[in-house]
Amino acid sequence: MKIYSLFIIMTLTLGLRAQAQGKPVYLDESRPIEERIDDALRRMTLDEKLAVVHAQSKFSSAGVKRLGLPDVWTDDGPHGVRPDVLWDEWEQAGQTNDSCVAFPALTCLATSWNPQLARAYGESLGEEALYRNKNVMLAPGVNINRTPLNGRNFEYMGEDPWLASRIVVPYVQGLQSKGVAACVKHYALNNDEEYRHQVNVIVSDRALREIYLPAFEAAVREGGTWAIMGAYNLYNDQHNCHNEILLNRILKQEWGFDGVVVSDWGGTHNTMEAVLNGLDMEFGSWTNGLTWGASNAYDSYYLALPYRQLITEGKLTTKELDEKVRRVLRLMFRTTMNRQRPYGALCSEAHYEVARKVAQEGIVLLKNDKLKANGNLPLLPIASDSRILVVGENAIKMMTVGGGSSSLKAQHEVLPLDGLCGRFAHVDYARGYVGDTVQSYNGVTVGRSLYDLRTPEALRAEAVEKARQADVVVVVGGLNKADYQDCEGHDRRDYAMPYGQNELVRAILAVNPRVVFVNISGNAIQLPWVNEVPAIVQAWFLGSESGHAIADVLSGDVNPSGKLPCSWYARLEDCGAHATGSYPGTWREGKQIIDEEYKDDIFVGYRWLDRQRLKPLFAFGHGLSYTSFAVTQAVADKSEMTSAETIAFTVSVKNTGEKAGATTVQLYVSDRKSSLPRPVKELKAFRKVFLQPGEQKDVVLTLDQRSLSFYDDRTQQWTAEAGDFEALIGFAADDIVKKVKFRLK
């Protein structure tokens, strides 16, 4: 009774204080957010509470107009702010002020190995979203690249959980510094696209914790993300948008996540599970969130009238609803109700500078052999007065358009051919092949006609004839964002280069060996002529400044510094998901469910290659430069550490070449003896360093107990066993140049 009386007194005191200040507590920004949430929640009716936990249009959820709480507007995507669609249709709204800067794909951002650049990326995207009145950006994606066939790998940050963790945290912090919520996706185990609604992932607790969850955990615990998006797939026979283990036990209870869990569009399947298993806001398109509709579509969502009916029938109380509304109100007070948010900016010069910088640092020089036909010098960089022939459809195809929900309406996109023409005086072009001639996607046109009715033989013949006269042939090829390539909703059907590009490359090599292949893709791809082409550049999907960035690197105006965030397999069979036969899974008898058992377990990417002693085509962390670097020494500050201590390694890095440039020093940990199998090595620290010719700098790389730990699924906890360890220091997973032994007491 005394406690209840105290509560009444406190409530009256808060109300009188708010009256004295002339506004309700929930509108008073000087009050703690939790007090404002309590006050607003008490004022809301049942119907108002239900309205805020599900969509009212394709991309918005209702506020509470009676209380002055505005609607919440979400938008795709991770690489730019998606153009607006109609209220209840996927068609473009036809606006003229919803263009954007297209930033490079997240795979490219991860390839920069530059957390400071990730912060700038997030800030720039936040400013663009703020200008467009978007409160929640459905970004970034941090699912692990388990197979190079995943059509959505280009939206993610590679195969390594530590690298993805170090890039996602500053991205989230930068975005949210502008008062726009990050919605990190797709939680979790969304590692392939084909049949993504039916895949039930079977994975060990250890692999879940060591490989597939760390980037999400970092986004929550370090980045402080305000939202998480559930994935379409299932785990433990429950859909991940209402998964008891992932959402309640791990995300909310263990990690202490205080934001909102948003369903992927149409990812909700059951009202009772959605209510009890951690979903906070349901989004989708039509009545069931995905495929069919009615005039009262959004009222028919699982968290709308069906939820209300369960409450009125007494089958549920408002306990869970109030918790969901608390989280939504917390999101509102952080975003729409935050009057201290800065002003946004759209398509600013600063944003284009960030986009270009990310593209420059993300381009990877995979190969640059010396060539007798080039005076026994590397083919790159290309001399300014060279006669250059550019070949390939990807040199004239917009890559900001298509690929699924991350498709954009960029204010402009500098195509590779245009960027090269702007930088070099003598540039000719030949199409070489025809791949995808789609002229528009979701209402956005590609700008330049891609139709060409010539035969493959005629296209090759033209390219070969022009190649005879060129000093350098730059073939711009690879994948695109068509279905079954780098595209949401489908995986790639094979690992091969499409559209007859292999035949094209070999035909050109027969008349001119001075060939540079610029591969545009979000994934690794089979390169059967890798030993014949002297220079290979990985250019990803580079966004608005694509052509400029490619010209910057090929000309040598920018020294490439990108390092691969994923292993590049010589054969698809060298990838663990395929070697074990676990991808794409097996249809469950009599059910519309595919069981996909992750038999590669913790051995993903370079971990699998090391375990099987397989040589990659290009290793994780690989990336060349126009200069050279050396580690002159690496020393630890102690030879032994306790679990409460850290150990710091001072690594001296020197630019031993003649050009200014950057490299990334990588530290992998090797456990010399363990009670459970462990990878040969695991990335646990890195640092990007910029050096002038002859300059030397010391970088400090630090390890703590978690860096040495594995997840023991026998005891369900992280464990660091006492014993001997080795710090393996180098410039790639296959380029270890120093080893330092130490011991954990």
Residue of 19 and 475 predicted with greater confidence: 475
Tens of pLDDT, residues 553-607 = 999 999 999 999 999 999 999 999 999 999 999 999 999 999 999 999 999 999 9
Measure the CA–CA gap between 348 and 123, rounded to whole angstroms: 12
Which run of H or E residues covers position 554?
Answer: helix 546-555
Calculate mean pLDDT across residues 500-524. 97
From 264, 491, 552, 671, active-site residue: 264
- For 109, list phi and psi in degrees, rounded to 5: -60, -45
Q: Where is average pLDDT lowest: 85-89, 381-385, 548-552?
A: 85-89
The reported pLDDT for the residue numbered 87 is 85
- How many other CB atoms sit within 10 Å of the CB of residue 530? 15
Look over the chain and give the mean of its residue pLDDT values, rounded to a whole number. Answer: 94
**Is residue 446 very low, low, confident or very high in pLDDT (cuts 50, 70, 90)?**
confident
**What's the Cα-to-Cα distance from 725 to each of 635, 666, 708, 740, rounded to whole Å?**
14, 16, 8, 9
Share of the chain above pLDDT 70, in %: 96
Whether residue 330 is predicted with pLDDT greater than 60 in this model: the reply is yes
Whether the per-residue pLDDT at 6 is higher than 50: the answer is: no
In CATH, which of 3.90.1150.10, 3.40.50.1700, 1.10.645.10, 1.20.210.10 is domain 353-564?
3.40.50.1700
DSSP bridge partners of 92? 85
Residue 290: predicted pLDDT: 55
What CA–CA distance (Å, rounded) separates 643 from 703?
11
Report the relative pairing of strands 515-520 and 535-538 from DSSP bridges: parallel
The pLDDT of residue 13 is above 60 = no
Find out whether the peptide bond into 70 is cis, omega within 30 degrees of 0. Answer: no
Residue spans of alpha helices (H) in 44-114: 46-51, 106-111
- Does position 12 have pLDDT exceeding 60, yes or no? no
pLDDT value at residue 289: 54
User: What would the 3-class secondary structure string for 19-62 be?
Assistant: HHHCCCHHHCCCCCHHHHHHHHHHHCCHHHHHHCCEECCCCEEC
Alpha helix locations (H) across 155-223?
Answer: 161-176, 205-207, 214-221
| CA–CA dist 168, 497 (Å, integer) | 30
Spell out the CATH class of 627-745. Answer: mainly beta
> What is residue 647's predicted lDDT score, i.e. its pLDDT?
97
Let me know: does 62 contact 328? Beta carbons within 8 Å.
no
Residue pLDDT, tens place only, 185-204: 999 999 999 999 999 999 99
Q: What is the mean pLDDT of residues 449-460?
A: 94
For residue 3, the model assigns a pLDDT of 45
Q: Residue 77 has what pLDDT?
A: 82
First and final C-alpha spacing in the chain: 54
264 catalytic per annotation = yes
Q: Domain limits of the chain?
A: 1-25, 353-564, 627-745
- Is residue 510 within 8 A of residue 537, CB to CB? The reply is no
Q: What's the one-letter identity of residue 675?
A: S
pLDDT recorded at residue 20:
42
